[in-house]
Structure 1
Amino acid sequence: MERRIIPWKSCHSADSEHAWVKGELIRYVRICSNEADFAKTRKDYAIRLHDRGYPGRWLQNVFDEVEYKAERPKVLKSPLPNGEGDGQELHLLKLTHNPIWDAIDLRPVWRDLDEASRDLGAGYPEFRFLASFKKPISLGDRFNKTNHNTLKTYHGRPA
């Protein structure tokens, strides 16, 4: 199954575009069992991106960050020692994205949460915290939901 490629002129940030292109290359490193297959897949991917408007020099810079021989051992290694949990419970902080979060160092927040949970008797040594940001609801999202509900009511079935 071929994945859809977001066009270059989308409203995504440059950091997002860079991250998902690089992430896809790293995925190709993981799923290609030899360097020749990776080279072919990488070339095909570059062509598809270029066809969607991605500039060649920008692509070259991102593609240069991922080398098969350097990445392959890392992507095949289990993220957890011996494939088991590391004794650290992961705590997820769900937040709605706001650009102000980009300028905030969350480490003191994690420490305060850890201390508060210890005070309540629920803390563990070496808590791990992760912030997960969801997209804020836009006016377009609200219109789409309203239109969906209107069409559902009008037609008596989901649109």
Structure 2
Amino acid sequence: MPNITVVQGDITKQNVDAVVNAANNAMRGGGGVDGAIHRAGGPAVLADCVARFPDGLATGDAGWTTAGNMPAQWVIHTVGPNHAAGERDRSLLESCYRRVLEVADELGARTVAFPLISAGTYGWPRQDAIAAAVDTIAATPTQVETAILMAFDEDAYRQIRGVLRSRA
């Protein structure tokens, strides 16, 4: 089981092997974390998305690209369910975390920074998104040593920290 920690800050600036992108099905950039990763990584990230995912990516799946100009070596893209649009199957959200860890293992990544998948624009309730992230990462066999849950703001940081403490 990886050591799961929380950091408040910008996922694009993390010095880790891989950062996780909460992408959309098209894999061509977007808003929120997706937009930030594409802006920080530069055109190489989009070019790799186009080459590797010509038909996009299914909800609950994951795949990797270069991280371009970011400190990380790779971006592991995953498409979470859009709760706001009626996609409420929690197993799809859990699949995102499992698939990211599987891809990380294929790459040999030992440190991975995760956003709270689907908890932003896609509207997944934050407390459940945190529980899904922590529980799924903890239960998934992996060679990843450190999984960082990124908190965009102080409130998310406190909530994630609270869940991590209650699970310790």
* TM-score of the two chains, using structure 2 as the length reference: 0.32
Look at both structures and tell me which one has the larger radius of gyration over its CA atoms: 1
The structure with the largest helix share of the pair is: 1
